[in-house]
Structure 1
Amino acid sequence: MQLGHPMLTAEIRAARQKLVLDHFRDEVRQEWDDVLSTFPHPHYELIPTMQVHDGDTAVRGYYHDTRVAFPDQDHEIIAFRHSDDAVIAEFWLLGTHLGPLGAIPATGSRFRVRMTAYFLFDTDENLVCERVYFDTLTMLKQLIGGLSMKNPKNWLLAARCLKGLLSMSGDEPHPSLVNTTSPAFAD
């Protein structure tokens, strides 16, 4: 819990949950102006890839790139949990890999990956960050593992996917995600 957050009331909980549901709905509809309106300053942290997308231009670029890779991206909400400074959403993310995902070429494979997103709020009840956690290996197994290696035409695609994956593995993590400090706990 961050100091200064008001006690979570039913009204705050309901308002936050509505905002997060609107955010999810507008992402699926690809109504980017509406999604961005849920933040005073858009900010995404993708923990599995150690990337940060900060500000309108960067977040729009993230939306563009993910929808080129997965134009039919959707979700199935599993549960919401509430804390003093966050709504924690568990959900399945799903889609079809129809365009490049970074340096990984499209495979045409479907994926369904369980995720958790922390929607963090400041003391004025503004959404300040969506921090997303998921298992990249599960996603990659579905995207690349869906290729039939019995079909020789997939051999080159599989090699290109591996090359793309390796080229992306050297990316430097965003400093704000690795240079953290432990909170001071009272005894």
Structure 2
Amino acid sequence: MSQFDIPAPEILRARQKLVLDHFHDEVVQQWDDVLSTFPHPHYELIPTLTVHDGDAEVRGYYRDSRVAFPDQDHEIIALRHSADAVIVEFWLLGTHQGPLGGIPPTGRRFRVRMTAYFIFDADENLVCERIYFDSLTMLKQLLGGLNLKNPRSWRTAIRALRGLAALSGEPDQRLLITTPTDLTA
């Protein structure tokens, strides 16, 4: 199959059902069901250059994100198909009730536009969910309510800055080492 061959409609429908089930099961926190959509769970978070690979790492990612945002939800904007992926544009939203890495909970809501690429291999297995979003937009919403003129807010602001620095730790080399695509074929 070449990069220009779009799979048959029944394959696209099966991919779309799998992706929509995946989204639904994430919202209701049915982690075993979400993980069953992959033969090997693999998430790539491009804004933080973070990879969560394998059952244990992905479950840790789910746990940490739901501690931070227990009411995390989404609103799908659009869903598109490509030769090897389902591409979903959506709003991610939730309330910051627990620590996000080292960023202390602010109790503030966020709503951030995202794109996720659900990538399939030649055997129609979901092999990766690759997520793109503007992390600054999220942070502005989470921290935007801090009144820096009030000394009582300073401690939270300092903890948030330290937490932000910790979130931007060492990038995963798997996301940095890429091979240019041959577009002459």
**TM-score tier (shorter):** over 0.9
1:161 aligns with 2:160: yes
Q: Secondary structure at the match of 2:47?
A: coil
Aligned equivalent of 1:115 = 114
Aligned equivalent of 2:14 = 15
C-alpha change, 1:133 and 1:22, in structure 2 (3 Å) is same
Query: 1: distance between equivalents of 2:73 and 2:82?
Result: 25
Query: 2: distance between equivalents of 1:68 and 1:5?
Result: 42
Q: Gaps (5+ residues) in structure 1?
A: none
Kindly, what percent of the aligned residue pairs are identical?
70
Aligned equivalent of 1:99 = 98
Give the letter for the 1:168 counterpart: L
1:178 aligns with 2:179: no
Question: Map of 1:143-154 to 2, 5 A cutoff?
Answer: 143-149=142-148, 151-154=150-153
Question: Map of 1:119-130 to 2, 5 A cutoff?
Answer: 119-130=118-129
Give the letter for the 1:180 counterpart: T
Give the letter for the 1:141 counterpart: K
Q: Secondary structure at the match of 2:114?
A: strand
Q: Gaps (5+ residues) in structure 2?
A: none
Contact 1:5 1:85 (8 Å CA) reproduced: no
Q: Deviations over 1:99-143 (max 9, x none)?
A: 110111111111000000000000111100000000000000000
Query: 1: distance between equivalents of 2:2 and 2:42?
Result: 21
Query: 2: distance between equivalents of 1:4 and 1:113?
Result: 30
Query: 2: distance between equivalents of 1:148 and 1:9?
Result: 55
1:59 aligns with 2:74: no
1:77 aligns with 2:99: no
Report the number of matched residues: 185
Deviation at 1:156, TM superposition (A): 1.6
TM-score normalised by the chain length of structure 1: 0.93
C-alpha change, 1:117 and 1:151, in structure 2 (3 Å) is same
Moved more, 5-14 or 43-52: 5-14
Aligned equivalent of 2:23 = 24
Give the letter for the 2:102 counterpart: A
Q: Could you say what the CA RMSD is over the residues aligned between the two structures, in angstroms?
A: 1.7
Contact 1:115 1:134 (8 Å CA) reproduced: yes
